[in-house]
Amino acid sequence: MIEVEVITGRTIDQGKTVEEKLSQEYFNAVSYCEINEKDFKKLGLREGDRVRVRTEFGEVVVFARTGDVPEGVIFIPMGPYANKVISDDTDGTGMPRFKGVSGVIEKTDENVKSIKELLGVE
């Protein structure tokens, strides 16, 4: 397990599929986190392994990918998976804080939930 700073943001794939939130394409676009290569190795990960991301706001299991992020930082595309680990408090701005949320990440054998499972819809 390592301590990380969670950041979220839009991606091209997330933006292209946002209108089809129950599609496989949207699931593929939002159900992962990017991890620095050194942190990836510290956790003993391979591409496609799963990790549990936990913050004070919640936790979620996502697929692991190496990415161009600094050590100690992970990136999760905006969407239902990122929403599980960020605060819904907007501090009066109308927008939640999508960057700089402290958390931990660890390798897991747990499955990544489908969007329907994650949201509790049928």
**Is residue 3 packed enough to be buried (19+ CB in 10 Å), middle (13-18) or exposed (0-12)?**
exposed
The DSSP code for 58 is E
Closest CA to 6 of 111, 78, 89: 78
The dihedral region occupied by 89, where left means phi > 0, alpha psi between -120 and 50, and beta the remainder, is beta
Q: Is residue 102 part of a domain?
A: yes
Domain count, the chain: 1
Q: Is residue 116 part of a domain?
A: no
Closest CA to 32 of 87, 101, 86, 79: 79
Q: Is residue 115 part of a domain?
A: no
Tell me, what's the pLDDT at 59? 96
Q: Is residue 121 part of a domain?
A: no
Q: Which residue has the higher pLDDT, 90 or 32?
A: 32
Digit-coded pLDDT (tens) for 87-109: 765 455 545 555 678 899 999 99
Residue type, 113: K
Tell me, what's the pLDDT at 30? 95
Q: Is residue 46 part of a domain?
A: yes
Residue 57: both structure tokens together: 């706001």
How far is C-alpha 65 from the geometric centre of its chain's CA atoms?
11
Q: What is the CATH number of the domain that holds 29?
A: 2.40.40.20
Residue 15: both structure tokens together: 């933006």
Digit-coded pLDDT (tens) for 38-67: 999 999 999 889 999 999 999 999 999 999
Q: Is residue 51 part of a domain?
A: yes
Q: Is residue 90 part of a domain?
A: yes
Digit-coded pLDDT (tens) for 76-87: 999 999 999 987
Tell me, what's the pLDDT at 16? 80
Q: Is residue 80 part of a domain?
A: yes
| 32: containing domain | 2-110
Tell me, what's the pLDDT at 20? 86
